[in-house]
Amino acid sequence: MSQAARASGVLGTACLSTFVVNVNTSAVSILLPSIATELGASLDELQWAVTGYLLVGAATIVTWGALGDVFGRRRMFVYGLGLFVVSCVFIALATTGWMVVLGRVIQGAAGASIVASGLSLLSSGTTGPAQMRSVALWGAAAAAGAAAGPVLGGVLNQSTGWQGLFWIDAAIAAVCIPWTWRTVPESRDPTRSRSIDFAGTVLVAAVLVPFVFAVTKASSWGWLSVPTLVCLVITALAAVGFVLVERRIPAPLVDLRLLRNALLVGSTLAILIGAGAIAGLSLLISLYFQDPATFGMSSLVAGLATLPVAAVVVLVAPAVTPLSHRFGARPVIVTGFVFMTAGFGFLAAVRPSWSYWVFLPALLAVAIGLGLSNGPSSSIATASVSPEEIGSASGISNMARYVGGAVLTAVVAGIYAAVSAKHAATGGAPAAALAAGFSRCSIALAVFSAAGIALGTLVARRTPVPRAIHYAAAAAATSHTMPVPSRT
């Protein structure tokens, strides 16, 4: 097979697989009301289908990349595809809500493997301008999948039932397995230590899972109740254990020395906030728009209602790099978080009488804000470290994306359910109760976004000028290993 044919095979496989994974990820929130109705599950239970997926992704994405470097990136990519097929079939056959949640937890590991190994294959198979073009196309496929997911999920739900999405995704992933074996050459990193930080992976999960339980259940348990305090203590102990482990192993999951880099830490926190805010908003509008007491939208109409938001994120992205070059990264990042804060602030005033068209300007403001803040923050994260540390810095940033999505999704789900139930219990109308829950969630998201304004100001105070490799990492936004040439 010629070099050109192999390069095309790698590019096609990586782009198609990341498109499918992102479609699946973004479509699930739209499907939750339908799944809840058919399986008799509560939405409080099913929010773990989103949160669990993100938690597992956060804990395993860097580990999958390390496994690929040591044992073969193609091998780990194919393992991820196989696991993805299994998870899709398991979810499609689910008869209870918790089966869906378990399937999504498995899918979180599969998606992390496909993302980490796919980009590693892509970036190691090309160099120079070809590498930049390939990574940019990969990033575009990921963005297109995220944008198309809610609409495709709605279409399939209406025509085949919610299971249709998972059957089709399973079929596509299954076809990708032999295609990958035939067209994609194996690659490894022979210079990397063969030590894999499985202890770090377990400890990341031990930090995040009880913390998410605490923030989700504290409103009903009580913040000073024994279960809440036990969860927080476990989180604290696991965090201490993680630091101790990472200091002692030869190939740590997170190089703790990088956490002394204020630019990297600040930009990573900005990424966490942005990713968390959009994940929380996606769940919130899916629940609110499809509830019979409010808009009563079908899953298809709700998916179409989110399309302008996704389209704006995609359309803003190409303008970010020129804006950053012209005005600097700090004004662009800060402006992005200002838009997000203003959008959530407007949504905090929601009333039961609002139509979709009243929501739309605020939703578009959030989308513009995400588009403006995400790219510069990602490129700063990699530009702030030495060339040999770009892969590690990118891994930290991408873990933060998963963490932000998991935590803020859980926060939003907990607030929405608790506030809505409280207002309903006092005799409030269902629509008013849901609007109150939406408002309280929007206030929380506005506070997080306002913190991003401060971070953006600090992050970009002495920002190095990003180069091509940094923008490639930002466009990909999910890399673990990106081979870096000596000159870029």
Q: 307-357: per-residue pLDDT in tens?
A: 888 888 778 877 777 777 777 777 888 999 999 999 999 999 999 999 999
What pLDDT shows up at residue 479?
A: 37
Three-class secondary structure assignment of the chain = CCHHHHHHHHHHHHHHHHHHHHHHHHHHHHHHHHHHHHHCCCHHHHHHHHHHHHHHHHHHHHHHHHHHHHHCHHHHHHHHHHHHHHHHHHHHCCCCHHHHHHHHHHHHHHHHHHHHHHHHHHHHHCCHHHHHHHHHHHHHHHHHHHHHHHHHHHHHHHHHCCHHHHHHHHHHHHHHHHHHHHHCCCCCCCCCCCCCCHHHHHHHHHHHHHHHHHHHHHHHHCCCCHHHHHHHHHHHHHHHHHHHHHHHCCCCCCCHHHHHCHHHHHHHHHHHHHHHHHHHHHHHHHHHHHCCCCCCCCHHHHHHHHHHHHHHHHHHHHHHHHHHHHHCHHHHHHHHHHHHHHHHHHHCCCCCCCCHHHHHHHHHHHHHHHHHHHHHHHHHHHHCCCHHHHHHHHHHHHHHHHHHHHHHHHHHHHHHHHHHHHHHHCCCCHHHHHHHHHHHHHHHHHHHHHHHHHHHHHHCCCCCCCCHHHHHHHHHCCCCCCCCCCCC
What pLDDT shows up at residue 458?
A: 66
Q: What band does 26 get if pLDDT is binned at 50, 70 and 90?
A: confident
* Choice between 375 and 293, residue whose per-residue pLDDT is larger: 293
Mean pLDDT in residue range 88-109 = 95
Model confidence, pTM: 0.86
- Homologous superfamily (CATH) of 1-186 is MFS general substrate transporter like domains (1.20.1250.20)
What pLDDT shows up at residue 488?
A: 36
What pLDDT shows up at residue 355?
A: 94
Question: What is the CATH code for 255-488?
Answer: 1.20.1250.20
Mean pLDDT in residue range 264-269 = 84
* Choice between 225 and 477, residue whose per-residue pLDDT is larger: 225
Q: What is the mean pLDDT of the chain?
A: 84
Mean pLDDT in residue range 262-278 = 86
The least confident of 181-185, 207-211, 240-244 is: 181-185
* Choice between 136 and 460, residue whose per-residue pLDDT is larger: 136
What pLDDT shows up at residue 487?
A: 35
Judged against a pLDDT cut of 70, whether residue 462 lies above it is answered with no
Judged against a pLDDT cut of 90, whether residue 213 lies above it is answered with no
